[in-house]
Structures are given as structure tokens and as C-alpha cells.
Amino acid sequence: MANELTQHARWLVLLRWLGALVLAFASMLAEVRGYVESVWPLLTVSLVVAAYNALLASAPLMARWRGRTHASFALDVVAITAFLHFAGDVENPLIFAYAVPIALAAVTLEMRPTLMLGGLAVLLMAGLVSLTLAGWLPHHHLALRSEVVMHGEADELLATMRVDYVVSRLLLAASAVMATGYGIARLAQRIREKERQLARENEQMSLLLNTLPVGVVLVRRDGGIVLSNPAARHLLGVPADDPFARVNGAAIAGNLVRFRGPVEEFESTEGGLHLRHALAQGSADEPLVWVFEDRTKERQLVAQLVHQSKMADLGILASGIAHEIGNPLSSLSAMLQVMRLKSPQGDTSARIGEMEIEVERINRIVQDITGFARPSSDRAAILLEALIEQAIRLFQMHRKSRDMWTEVTRSDGGVTVRAVPDQITQVILNLLLNAADASDGKGRIRISTAADEIEAAVSVIDDGAGMGPETRLRLFTPFFTTKQPGSGVGLGLFVSESIARAHGGRIEVKSEKGKGSTFTLWLPRAAEVEG
């Protein structure tokens, strides 16, 4: 409120400077045209207006302007009265100049002080005319008509003008002043009420936008931001000092161009957050309303529920598998033991040994398949590179590796993870076999490792056919496979991802059709995992 009064004060000072110049110019024009007897009293009034305006414009008074607005308008009314006294009283058409400060007061002040100021103007006007008619003040003729006698003969006013004319002109001027004051004050009052109402609504709207946990943005089709709330900046990662003038995300920018209305919804991933968006527009020439919210936690919860449901279903299936596979596996183990009793030599003994190792590994897999969702209690700190080497040796023994070659890129130094070695070896081997399938059994598979302070990663990269978005979304679904019938049951990646989750890790996939795929297994480093 204080700032508003100071702005009004500066505005009125500027207008008063202009008014003083207008009075001085009118005085000089009246002197040149011979309308007045002497220009000096009129110029004196103009200088007095300029003097008290300069005083009001000084910094100390400007800082204490509250309560002085009424006095400044009263000075203006007195100055106009003095000017009219020296310029013909009711003869002067500038008698209606009283309406100027009254109109300005109506804009600046409330109704009551405006009407009080109008009453002061009427009293001063009536007092000036009454004192002049009574002969107590000299009448300074205004020679706008040739029949009026000038040169200080005050009695000519009564000789040339009737009292009823003076009174009627006085009433006309007074009515114009009061009507102007009341009308403009009434209009200004309504405007101020509307401004206060709009200010309240704007405050309520700002409170609503600032407290909403969802992002709300008013945006043009070209991506220009008209308005945004703090939640929008937070969700999009926009710093507080960023002007945030345009939309930067390619996903939302593309949807803005394609939007046909009236309402459209879509989802996107921005900065690791899964966002759900809605665009709406009232009419074609209006900006679009863009509303979005963070659905990351909901998606994670749904994924966990789906995973738990899959695990429950698979647990039932795994029990059956363990039973059905356990019997023939026991037979195989017994046969190998019989073959070992015959004391084979050379390569045959080595092959039998490898078969015994694989049978034992299958046996452990069958035993673990019913509980791979639970963290294993026999984890050990082991070099990730050792697990990769073991997986590569097993892969090279598989028929799918016949026309494939592997290329390993290791990070500087060894990376230790705490894991169940057989399970992680199984995951890496599954990724290698999938890479061979994607490459039709021919070409190169690249394996690389990386690590930061918290996690270690092993990436398996192929130059195969790649995948589209629909396939990527279903990769870790049980029994989903893109292989030919009889080539796989679709459990490899599901089991691998479940093992990764049980270790506190994850598997990430990057793939495009015709550009190959990259599967990355992330595992917590040994120092970050409690045994």
C-alpha cells in the first residue's frame, strides 16, 4: 500500500508540473491576445504552483506522502481559485478547471474525501464570486468580448452582467465539478473493488498452484512457457534461477506440435522419473494447459506387485520342475559315477569330469529355482572378472558359440562383488547365449565392465537384429520368447532378472531394431553389501 501511495505521489507531481506549465502558457497567451489587464498575477500563481510542487516532490515529503495527498489537492483548488480571480472570475471558461483536481482526487482517493474536496471547490468558487459582487474584491475583467470594459473598472461587472447570469453560471460550474467528482469516484471505487477481488483470486490461485504436488504449465504450441508452478520446475529439474522460458524435452515438444485437443494424455521418462502428462486447450487461440505428475513410485509398486505375482506362480511351477527334473538328473549322475568307476583315461576322463560339473550345476540350479527370489545366505566376495571368465568358458563349450567370438574389455583394476557365484555366472551365461541367438550364431559379442563407488556393471553387447519398444517391454515376462518354437521356453531372462533383483541389482536393456542390443547387469559392490 505504501508503494502504491508513493507511485500515486510521483504521478501527481508530474501532472502538477504539466498543469503549472499550462497555466503559464495560458497566461502568456492571454497577455499576447490582450485578454487580461496584467499577466504578472497569473504568472505568480503559476510560479506558486511550481514552488509547492517542488516541495512536495522532495525526498523527505515523498517518503511521508501518506496523509498529504488531501492537502496537495486542496492547494490545487486554492491555486485555481486565485488564478480565476485574476482572470475574470465567472467570465473565464477555465472556471471548469476545478474539475481537473477533483477528477484526479477521485482516481487517487476514496469517495468521501473526493466529495469533500468538491465541496471545498464550490465554496471557494462561490466565495470568490460573492466577494467580487459585493465589491470586497476587485473584478479583473477578461476581454473575450469587445463590449466588456477593462482597465480595472470593477463596477462594470454589475453594469454589463446580471446577477442571475452569474448565479446560473456558478451553479453550472458547481454541478459540473460535483458530478465529475462523484462519477469518477464511483467508477474508481468499482475499479478498486474489482482490483481487490482480482488480487484475492490471484492470491488464492497462486496458493493453489504453489501447493499442488503436480506440475501445471501454461504453454504455447511453439514451446514458449507462459506460466509454471514450483512443482513443475521440481519435476523437470529446472533450477530456481532458470527463467524456464521454453520446453526442452523432446517428448513434450513433439506432443505440443501434434496436439489436436481437446484433451490428450501420454507418458514419458524425464531424468529418471516416470511422468504422466495431460494436455488440454479451451480454444485454438489460447495457450495449452499442461499438467503432469510423478508416477515413478506407482510404477515401481506395480512392478513389484507384478514381480511378486510372477514369483508366486513360478514357485508353484518350480516345485513341479524340480521334481520332474530331479529324477532324470539323479539317473544321469548315477551313470556318470558308473563311467567313472571304469577308470577312463585321457580326454574321456576330462569330458566325464566336465559333465559331472555341469550335472552338479544343474542340480544346484534346480534346487535354487524354487528360492531364487530370496537373498541367498552363501554369498561371497568375488572378482566380477572371474565370474565373467567362468561364464565365457561355459559359453565356448556350447554349440551356439561355434561361429562366434568374444571380445572382453576390462576396467582398470579388479572389481569385487558379493554374490552367489553360480547364480551370477548363470546370469552372464544367459546373456551371452541370448546375444548369440540375436546374432544368428555368427559375429562378435563384446563384454565390458565398469564400476563406480556403489555399483559394478558387466555389459554384453551384440550386433544382432535388435528389438523394438514392444519387445523390450515384455523381455522379462515369464514364457515370453521371440525364438522359434522348440528353441526356448522364455524363462532365461526372467530368471536372470530375478537373480539380479535378489542380489540388490538390476538388468538394463538398450536396443534398436537393426542396431543390436546391450544388456547390462548391475550389482552392488562388495563394500556396499552386507553379507
Q: Which of 79-93, 301-315, 433-447 has the lowest mean pLDDT?
A: 301-315
Which residues partner with 266 through β-bridges?
A: 277
Cell triple for residue 353? 569330469
Q: What's the mean pLDDT in 155-164?
A: 53
CA distance 309 to 315: 10
Q: What's the mean pLDDT in 7-20?
A: 82
pLDDT of 230 > 50? The answer is yes
- At residue 514, the 3 state secondary structure works out as coil
Q: What's the mean pLDDT in 421-444?
A: 85
Q: Is residue 384 a contact partner of residue 417, using CB atoms and an 8 Å limit?
A: yes
Using one digit for the tens of pLDDT, what is the confidence trace for 83-137? 888 887 766 777 778 888 888 888 888 888 888 888 888 888 888 878 877 778 8
Using one digit for the tens of pLDDT, what is the confidence trace for 336-395? 787 877 777 777 887 888 888 877 777 766 665 555 444 445 678 888 888 988 888 888
Which has the closest alpha carbon to 5: 101, 52, 70, 75? 70
CA distance 127 to 428: 107
pLDDT of 279 > 70? The answer is yes
Phi, psi angle pair for 362, to nearest 5°: -60, -40
Q: What is the pLDDT of residue 155?
A: 46
Cα-to-chain-centroid distance, residue 227? 7
Burial (CB count <10 Å: 0-12, 13-18, 19+), residue 529: middle
Q: Is residue 69 a contact partner of residue 5, using CB atoms and an 8 Å limit?
A: yes
Q: What is the pLDDT of residue 382?
A: 87
94 vs 262: which has the higher pLDDT: 262
The secondary structure of 281-345 as a DSSP string is: -SSTTSPEEEEEEE-HHHHHHHHHHHHHHHHHHHHHHHHHHHHHHHHHHHHHHHHHHHHHHT---
Which residues partner with 510 through β-bridges?
A: 518
Q: Is residue 76 a contact partner of residue 101, using CB atoms and an 8 Å limit?
A: yes
Q: Which of 19-33, 59-73, 192-206, 494-508 has the lowest mean pLDDT?
A: 59-73
Q: Is residue 464 a contact partner of residue 517, using CB atoms and an 8 Å limit?
A: yes
Confidence of residue 3 (pLDDT cuts 50, 70, 90): low
Q: What is the pLDDT of residue 374?
A: 47
Confidence of residue 520 (pLDDT cuts 50, 70, 90): very high
Convert 367-431 into a string of H (helix), E (strand) and C (coil). HHHCCCCCCCCCCEEEEHHHHHHHHHHHHHCCHHHCEEEEEEECCCCCCEEEECHHHHHHHHHHH
Q: What is the pLDDT of residue 118?
A: 86
Domains within the chain, CATH numbers bracketed: 2-201 (no CATH), 213-294 (3.30.450.20), 298-371 (1.10.287), 376-531 (3.30.565.10)
